Structure 1
Amino acid sequence: MAMEHVHHMKGGVGETSYANNSSLQRKVIMEVKTILEENMVLIMSNKSVKGYWKIADLGCSSGSNTLLSISNIMNIIHKINTKLNHGKGKPVFQIYLNDVFENDFNTIFKLLPDFYQREKEKNDGECFINVTPGSFYGRLFPNNYIDFFHSSYCLHWLSQAPKILVKNGEPLNKGNIYLSKTSPPSVYEAYFKQFERDFQYFLKLRFKELALDGTMALTFIGTESHDKIISVQGVLGMVLNEMVQEGLVEENKLDMFNFPTYHPTKEEVRQVIEREGSFTLQIIKTFKMGWDANLQKDNVNYVVDRKMRGEFISKYHRAVFEPLLIAAFGENIMDVLFSRFANLLTQLIEFETLEFTNIVLFLTKDS
């Protein structure tokens, strides 16, 4: 099955949908807002006045988070315009929401009337929203078209898992679905090379599509060091191995499956950008966030026990990973898989620090 058919979050508005299980991603967006504002002030202060902004959100998924990102960006631009006295009128925004063809865009469409009303009341400027379906590992826009690219929690997804993880019919990463302490160096190298190819190609495409003074703001999951391996994918792999031993999952399916994600270090990101050569890296920062950050009930943070924390982490990762895992292992094991995943997380929380290292970077197009 083509990866673009399974590289999407779980749609709808059901109990296990992405729309109802993405509060952690929302917290990341709000954490990055301050970084966005600080750096957009520096970038915009050296640019000519813009009354019309074309903005693209890459990997928008479904639910309200993408509209939060867009609202933040519009608000920041309006505030900067006002502060710098850039023109007398308010800016006009043309927004493009992008994700793969299988994404549940309808969930976003249903939120637009309320969004338009809120933005009208805020009076930051007129806003027009369009959808641009397709992989961001392909062309999306005409040359020199977009003023500002934004992407949050997407670029750690690869276009595909590395292809060279099988040699003479034998899996090189046997018993694992991602990088682990038992993965040989060749597997680490294959994952980095896939990330390098994908990210370089992403940069080449966005260079063509960005306007001459265009900017990108990207946030994705990274790692401080590949020596310290404890990942969500690794924990899922432990559960799948347990299910193989019980005959609930075919061993061959486990051995041949590799997660199409990669969490780079900050140095690796910098290295790829410099080698590709199309952009100036204005800033790169990292910040950490617990796997159970922003655990809420009725939109209110509250104190929970380990079991509830494990269930929370399991639930939102099911919304992210389920389409991919169904394609690999079948739908009938999903309830058992994520129930056991929650139980294992509950145990790990007691003695492990479970947190993401998030990488935020600002890039400007070189002339």
Structure 2
Amino acid sequence: MVHMNQGEGDTSYARNCGIQNAEQNRMKPLIEAAVVDLCTSTSLPRNMVITDLGCSSGSNALVLVSVAIEAIKSYCIQLQKNPPEMCVFLNDLPNNDFTMVIKNLVTLRQGNEPFVVTGVTPGSFYERLFTSGSLHLVCSSSSLHWLSKAPEVLTMNHIPAYNIDEHARREMLPMILEAYAQQFRNDFTHFLKLRAKELLSGGRMVISITGRHSDGFSSKLFHIWETIVQILSVMVLEGVIDKAKFDSFYMPMYGPSSEEFRDIIQEEGSFVIKEMLVRDFTSDADSALFAPKMFMCHMRAVFEPIIVQHFGEVMEEFTRTAERQWRVDGILMDQLGRLAWLCVSLTKA
């Protein structure tokens, strides 16, 4: 069950989501352009339905939908028109901290009365969530790299996703790559088909994802979660966690290349790409967010639940190991430099 650290404590996602917030800020121009396109392509609709898929919790849960609401209001003020009634839905998996989400939604609604109503839609975005032709704008940030499941060809055949032995890891890498790439292709294609049913004709979608710059791969940082398993592998070698447990750990997560991302959208065929951005993962973000200590807090907020589910209460040792490895090896910025931020604005064909 994937979810971020809940609540508002020191290790919570709510307090450690600055990197995701930087990604959301990069999406703002694309969302604003999508709103203008929606409002001008036909006559201004009497009502609009907006949703954020994979909203998580904390203040970030409102960022994307708030950008859309403000863009609609600004457009209407310029044309001296009354804004349409807006319905805002926030979605995430059932174990998400919806208590905080609901409190934030109440604040959003009260600040935009009487023309904004709000709701929560728990569930996986790899299933139908809304009625056919009901959505005007879909947004999603930092979510679609989470897969519906780890590749079954690995889990069913007990093939480790990350082998501690470097020679074995290099040898198996092409097969591991193909397994994860195919799972992402299946999941993302299904996601696009579902959203095409839920969006009305001409509806818009703006989504961002953590991925890779190109299709090339090497033995270094193929997985976007490689930093996590490198730390865990050290803990295996030091006897902190069991090797069999480590070999059966599969992160349901994949970062596509920009080419993969574009190709899947074009092959599925339900959407036309209006604009696509590819940037360094760390660009336009406060460099302090990527200092080892702060980045460790971010990783803990995101990955602690899934690590603890599999290995038990190991996070204090995980944190100590991570800080020691980064201090000695200095690998953090090298690994982050291999990641890319991918964002695409789509129109339903």
Q: TM-score surpassing 0.5? A: yes
2:202 counterpart of 1:213: yes
2:103 counterpart of 1:110: yes
Give the equivalent residue in structure 2 for 1:364. 347
2:25 counterpart of 1:30: yes
The residue type equivalent to 1:50 in the other structure is P
Partner deviation per Cα, 1:138-187 (whole Å, 9 max, x = no partner): 110111111111101000110011111257555464339xxx75642111
Give the equivalent residue in structure 2 for 1:143. 132
Write the distance in 2 (CA, Å) between the matches of 1:183 and 1:44: 50
Give the equivalent residue in structure 2 for 1:257. 249
Q: CA deviation at 1:249?
A: 0.7
Identity of aligned residues (%): 34
SS of the residue aligned with 1:184?
Answer: helix
TM-score computed with the length of structure 1 as normaliser:
0.85
Give the equivalent residue in structure 1 for 2:308. 326
Write the distance in 2 (CA, Å) between the matches of 1:8 and 1:329: 16
2:259 counterpart of 1:267: yes
Contact 1:54 1:94 in 2 (8 A): yes
SS of the residue aligned with 2:33?
Answer: helix
Give the equivalent residue in structure 2 for 1:227. 217
Partner deviation per Cα, 1:192-214 (whole Å, 9 max, x = no partner): 10000000110111111111221
Stretch deviating more after TM superposition (193-202 or 102-111):
102-111
Q: CA deviation at 1:33?
A: 0.6
Contact 2:109 2:116 in 1 (8 A): yes
Give the equivalent residue in structure 2 for 1:55. 50
TM-score computed with the length of structure 2 as normaliser:
0.89
Give the equivalent residue in structure 1 for 2:6. 11
The residue type equivalent to 1:145 in the other structure is S
Contact 2:54 2:143 in 1 (8 A): yes
SS of the residue aligned with 2:151?
Answer: coil
Contact 2:189 2:265 in 1 (8 A): yes
Stretch deviating more after TM superposition (261-270 or 87-96):
87-96
Write the distance in 2 (CA, Å) between the matches of 1:182 and 1:91: 57
Q: CA deviation at 1:45?
A: 2.6
SS of the residue aligned with 2:306?
Answer: helix
Write the distance in 2 (CA, Å) between the matches of 1:96 and 1:104: 15
SS of the residue aligned with 1:88?
Answer: coil
Q: CA deviation at 1:113?
A: 4.3
SS of the residue aligned with 1:165?
Answer: helix
Q: How does 1:321-360 map to 2 (within 5 A)?
A: 321-330=303-312, 332-346=313-327, 347-348=329-330, 352=334, 354-355=336-337, 356-360=339-343
The residue type equivalent to 2:12 in the other structure is S
Q: Which runs of 5+ in 2 are unaligned?
A: none
2:281 counterpart of 1:286: no
Tell me: CA distance 1:345–1:38, structure 2 relative to 1, closer, same or farther (3 Å).
farther
Partner deviation per Cα, 1:93-121 (whole Å, 9 max, x = no partner): 1001100111110012223444345445x
Contact 1:51 1:89 in 2 (8 A): no
Q: CA deviation at 1:329?
A: 1.0
Say which structure is richer in helix: 2
2:238 counterpart of 1:246: yes
Q: CA deviation at 1:267?
A: 1.0
The residue type equivalent to 1:153 in the other structure is S
Write the distance in 2 (CA, Å) between the matches of 1:241 and 1:350: 16
Tell me: CA distance 1:353–1:248, structure 2 relative to 1, closer, same or farther (3 Å).
closer
The residue type equivalent to 1:227 in the other structure is F
SS of the residue aligned with 2:342?
Answer: strand
Write the distance in 2 (CA, Å) between the matches of 1:167 and 1:126: 51
Write the distance in 2 (CA, Å) between the matches of 1:353 and 1:328: 24
Write the distance in 2 (CA, Å) between the matches of 1:62 and 1:350: 26
Tell me: CA distance 1:343–1:34, structure 2 relative to 1, closer, same or farther (3 Å).
farther
SS of the residue aligned with 1:358?
Answer: strand
Tell me: CA distance 1:112–1:263, structure 2 relative to 1, closer, same or farther (3 Å).
same
2:119 counterpart of 1:127: no
Write the distance in 2 (CA, Å) between the matches of 1:292 and 1:324: 29
Write the distance in 2 (CA, Å) between the matches of 1:112 and 1:280: 31
The residue type equivalent to 1:80 in the other structure is Y
Write the distance in 1 (CA, Å) between the matches of 2:15 and 2:2: 18
SS of the residue aligned with 1:32?
Answer: helix
Tell me: CA distance 1:253–1:51, structure 2 relative to 1, closer, same or farther (3 Å).
same
Contact 1:95 1:130 in 2 (8 A): yes
Contact 1:295 1:312 in 2 (8 A): no
